[in-house]
Amino acid sequence: MQADELAGEVFRIAFERRDRYDDAYQDARPWLFGIATRLWWRAVRQAERSRRAYERAAVSANLVEHALDEVDDRVDAAVSRARLGDAIERLAPGDRDALLLFAWEAMTYADIARALEIPIGTVRSRIHRARARMRELLCMSGQLPCDQTTRR
């Protein structure tokens, strides 16, 4: 509260409560200072409440913004997952098996060859073909940037 506002408010309140002033006291300054002190503390408490409310609002806004960002991320991830799943489904079965064993199971080429009972050279060819096809499919779906070498 500004000093001039405080002074004006003190005299307004004093005028409204003039019938409560004890005439036994010749000096009204202590009474006026009492009013001013209570007004000042009320203004300080109100400012503190406002500050805390703004902080809560800012925290709430940040929480809402963070929650919305998380929702956006989850939606983006769901869309990406769906597009990735669609692309994987469109691979040839042998290429898909080799790629998934390599990427998700972290198997070596030798282990994949043993698991699928195919030569290691075939594993290399299938993974290479699957990666190229995935790049192409993800490029067409907008998941990856396209360049001239990606397109067929």
Q: What pLDDT, on a 0 to 100 scale, did the predictor assign at position 66?
A: 66
Hey, which bits of the chain come out as E strands? none
Q: What is the mean pLDDT of residues 13-25?
A: 87
Q: Return the percentage of the chain with pLDDT > 90, whole number.
A: 17
pLDDT band of residue 43 (cuts 50, 70, 90) is confident
Element (H, E) at 150: none
Q: With contact defined as beta carbons under 8 Å apart, do 10 and 1 qualify?
A: no
> In this structure, how many other beta carbons lie within 10 angstroms of the beta carbon of residue 40?
15
pLDDT at 144 over 70: no
Q: What pLDDT, on a 0 to 100 scale, did the predictor assign at position 27?
A: 85
Q: What is the mean pLDDT of residues 2-6?
A: 82
Write down the mean pLDDT value for the chain.
81
pLDDT digits (tens, 9 = 90+) for 77-104: 667 777 788 888 889 989 988 998 898 8
Token readout for 102 is 């390599």
pTM: 0.48
Q: Using CA atoms, how far apart are residues 86 and 52, in angstroms rounded to an integer?
A: 50
